[in-house]
Amino acid sequence: MTGDLSPIDTAKFVAASRACEFVENGMRVGLGTGSTAAWMVRCLGERLRRDGLKISGVPTSTRTAELARKVGIDVISLDEAKWLDLTIDGADEFDGEMNLIKGGGGALLQEKIVATASDRMIVITDVSKEVETLGAFPLPVEVIPFGWQTTKALIEETLVNMEVLGQDCSLRMNGDAPFVTDEGNHILDLHLKRIGNPRQMALVLNQIPGIVENGLFIDICDVVVIGHGDGRVETRDINAGTREESQLDVAVADNIFADITD
């Protein structure tokens, strides 16, 4: 089966597997959403089975909750957990200061609440997500359905005065209907190409009525674990100022590869 893992899946798997080494017995762990996070949930399930690890998990979407239960993780709500030791999640882009764009999978609202309620956020990613300046990936913004077109017009008006290269704003669709988040909201994708001042952008967007949250994660991520297609994995810790590289054995993916669907 290992031979069947593409370089991109190998990169996601090794990043997820390395990040799971940060999880200790008894921890309350935030469980991210997306294909890389799905690997992480699988890896945690494997540690439960193999090492007898006991943890509680707070999922950031209904699909992660489903997968977590399937692999045997004790799933609790954020209100039950109140505060978390660690959140592990993917990202769509990250820069040199570990600022992120998230929400490609439409779960940014729960993801931001959960990551912010954690002592530490670890981002798991493949090397392609690293950028010098955020913004090539369209910035997801969650808006309430009521008056969303007015909210969109207000965003477009605001973007005129911001440090960006593009100003297109599109409603995310799911087939013929608008995409609906777990919270019953819609997503506007902002095609900004380059965000000159992500901190300012995050603050300004959240002042617009109708916006629930935006996908810029500023000063939230502590550690980024970057997987490569050949099994190498780099771990950068922004607080400790360290960078470590290791090589992971991808053969263990054999046990947990089946039915990864996210």
Smallest gap from residue 71 Cβ to ligand 5RP (A): 17
CA distances from 206 to 35, 210, 214 (A): 27, 9, 7
Smallest gap from residue 160 Cβ to ligand 5RP (A): 27
Spatial separation of the C-alpha atoms in residues 119 and 140, rounded to whole Å: 25
Nearer Cβ to ligand 5RP (57/105): 105
* Other Cβ atoms within 10 Å of 156 Cβ, number: 14
Spell out where 172-257 has E strands. Answer: 173-174, 177-178, 186-191, 211-214, 216-217, 223-227, 232-237, 242-247
Residues that bind ligand 5RP (CB under 6 A): 32-37, 89-92, 102-108, 111
Spatial separation of the C-alpha atoms in residues 42 and 22, rounded to whole Å: 15
Spatial separation of the C-alpha atoms in residues 123 and 98, rounded to whole Å: 9
The catalytically annotated residue of 111, 142, 213, 234 is 111
Smallest gap from residue 49 Cβ to ligand 5RP (A): 23
Spatial separation of the C-alpha atoms in residues 11 and 215, rounded to whole Å: 23
Helix %, strand %, coil % of the chain (to 5):
35, 30, 40
Which structure tokens are listed for 53?
Answer: 């690890």
Cβ atoms 31, 19 nearer than 8 A: no
> What is the pairing mode between strands 211-214 and 118-126?
unpaired
Smallest gap from residue 34 Cβ to ligand 5RP (A): 3
Smallest gap from residue 215 Cβ to ligand 5RP (A): 7
Nearer Cβ to ligand 5RP (101/248): 101
111 is an active site residue: yes
- Which residues are designated catalytic? 111
